[in-house]
Structure 1
Amino acid sequence: MNALLLSAWFGHLRILQLLVNSGAKIHCENKDGLTLLHCAAQKGHVLILAFIMEDLEDVALDRADKLGRTAFLRAAEHGQLDALDFLVGSGCDHSVKDKEGNTALHLAAGRGHLAVLQRLMDIRLDLEERNVEGLTALHAAAEGIHPNCVQLLLGAGSNVNALTQVARPPHNCCLPLATEL
């Protein structure tokens, strides 16, 4: 990470402004493909997001990192409701999926971010959208052991009997126990 990305990551607006005014390249990314927007969104720094969108030129709102995640998906994954709201208000693509086919609903539900999940449902994302393994947001919430998210999704009409498209055992529950030698 360079100094510019670090200032966005840690929410240091004044440092970010100083670096930009000193000629820092604003279209930089780290080895994972994270840009200024990704860093600020993941950490929930709305003032940084506002500076990037309002004061910098040619910033791609829906640019994906190496996992195929936009700033919107990063905000959802990390439970950053205010950042998510800012990005939605800025006109980001709500229907975007990462390389594994996960939507913002999958990422928020799988991590147990109830408030973000509610907001995503408020903007009418498809509850039955499937990722590449055929998992819905309900599957992600159940697999992540987040009962509040499961309850919220069920209350919103998620299909309780939806089947995955790929056969695989659930996390750790069916793995054989290691025996001592």
Structure 2
Amino acid sequence: MNALLLSAWFGHLRILQILVNSGAKIHCENKDGLTLLHCAAQGGHVPVLAFIMEDLEDVALDQADKLGRTAFHRAAEHGQLDALDFLVGSGCDHSIKDKEGNTALHLAAGRGHVAVLQQLVDFGLDLEERNAEGLTALHAAAEGTHPDCVQLLLGAGSSVDALTQVARSRHWCLPWAAGPW
């Protein structure tokens, strides 16, 4: 992480502006492929996101990190609702999958971010979209033991008997949804 990325990571807009005005290289990334946009989105720093999108040139809104995740994925995974809304308003592609086939819906559900999950459902993301393991967001929520997310997804129309192949055995979502809670 360099000073520019750290200022975006921690939401220090003024420091970021000073560094940019002093000639810092804006198209940088860390060893994991995180860019300024990823760092600001993960931390939910909307003023920093706005500066990056509005004042810097040639910023790739949907650039993926080494996991194949965009800033939109990062915001969803870390429960950053305002950042998510900003990125959608900026025109990001919310249908992109990461290298494991996860959508933002999978990541939010697996981490238990109910408000973000609701927003993603409202955006119209496909509830039955499967990742590389054949899991839907409902499976991710159930495996992460997030009953509020399970209930939200079921209420939104997720298929309770979505069949998946995991370790060559068949599982139905219903037993997972019943879970230990």
SS at match of 1:74: helix
1:138 corresponding residue in structure 2: 138
2:118 corresponding residue in structure 1: 118
- State the identity as a percent: 89
| Greater CA drift, 157-166 or 10-19 | 157-166
1:156 corresponding residue in structure 2: 156
Q: AA paired with 1:106?
A: H
Deviations 1:122-176 (A, max 9, x none): 0100000000000000000000000000000000110000111332689xxxxxx
Measured after TM superposition, the shift of residue 44 of structure 1 is 0.2
CA root-mean-square deviation: 1.2
2:89 corresponding residue in structure 1: 89
2:23 corresponding residue in structure 1: 23
Unaligned runs of 5+ in 2: 172-181
SS at match of 2:93: coil
Normalised TM-score (structure 1) = 0.92
Which consecutive aligned stretches of 4+ in structure 1 deviate over 6 angstroms post-superposition? Answer: none
Q: AA paired with 1:91?
A: G
2:47 corresponding residue in structure 1: 47
SS at match of 1:159: coil
Measured after TM superposition, the shift of residue 89 of structure 1 is 0.2
Q: AA paired with 2:153?
A: L
Q: In structure 2, how many angstroms separate the alpha carbons of the residues matched to 1:32 and 1:146?
A: 28
